[in-house]
Amino acid sequence: MTQHGEGELSPEVVMAEMKKNGVTHVVWLPDSETNFLYLLMEADPDLDLIPVSREGQAFSTAAGLTVGGKKPVILIQNTGMMESGDSLRGWGLSLNIPVVMMVGYRGWTRHGVNTDTAATYTERFLNAFGIQYYLVENGEDAPRISVAFEEASRTRRPVAVLVGDEYHGFNR
């Protein structure tokens, strides 16, 4: 088990936010630092994990789940989100799907200087689609995840949570 320092965004905190908001399904494609979250999710009998092999599938899957009254969350990396633009548009926005996508913010750094174009274009991409987003960097930021769920439900639109720490990846 990995030891998490005080204030860090722990997988347990992310799980607690999912449970608090009634998440039933996690539609996901692994990113570089979420394995501990995966192990927690896999062990939870109340969560149904749906693995996809390309991030665009996550939006149409989530749309179908929502039609049937379930509450999915999408867990992907910013690289895959950008590759999924047309699916986000068609299956997310045009069907009014109130889904939260938790997006690993690859390349993001607190000091604002990055060398990874994945980070350079992430917020520009979301702004182009008119997607509201919340940056979550540590445990103190975790309540923003609930804000995102509330906003998605109220606006019937996808809302993004950018995970700026990627569970202790890039800011070490």
Residues at the site binding another protein, with contacts judged by CB under 8 A: 25, 48, 50-54, 56-72, 86-87, 89-91, 94-96, 98, 153, 156
| Least spacing, CB of residue 62 vs another protein, in Å | 7
The span from the CA of 137 to the CA of 16, in Å, is 16
The residue (of 97 and 119) whose beta carbon lies closer to another protein is 97
| Least spacing, CB of residue 95 vs another protein, in Å | 6
Sign of the C-alpha dihedral, residues 144, 146, 149, 153? negative
| Least spacing, CB of residue 40 vs another protein, in Å | 20
| Least spacing, CB of residue 101 vs another protein, in Å | 15
| Least spacing, CB of residue 133 vs another protein, in Å | 19
Q: Residue 102 — φ and ψ, nearest 5°?
A: -90, 120
The residue (of 68 and 112) whose beta carbon lies closer to another protein is 68
Please identify which residue in the block is written with the tokens 């992907």: 76
Polymer length of the chain? 172
The residue (of 7 and 51) whose beta carbon lies closer to another protein is 51
The residue (of 60 and 79) whose beta carbon lies closer to another protein is 60
The span from the CA of 32 to the CA of 51, in Å, is 15
Q: Which of 126, 119, 23 is nearest to 70 (CA)?
A: 23
The span from the CA of 120 to the CA of 126, in Å, is 12
The residue (of 29 and 162) whose beta carbon lies closer to another protein is 29
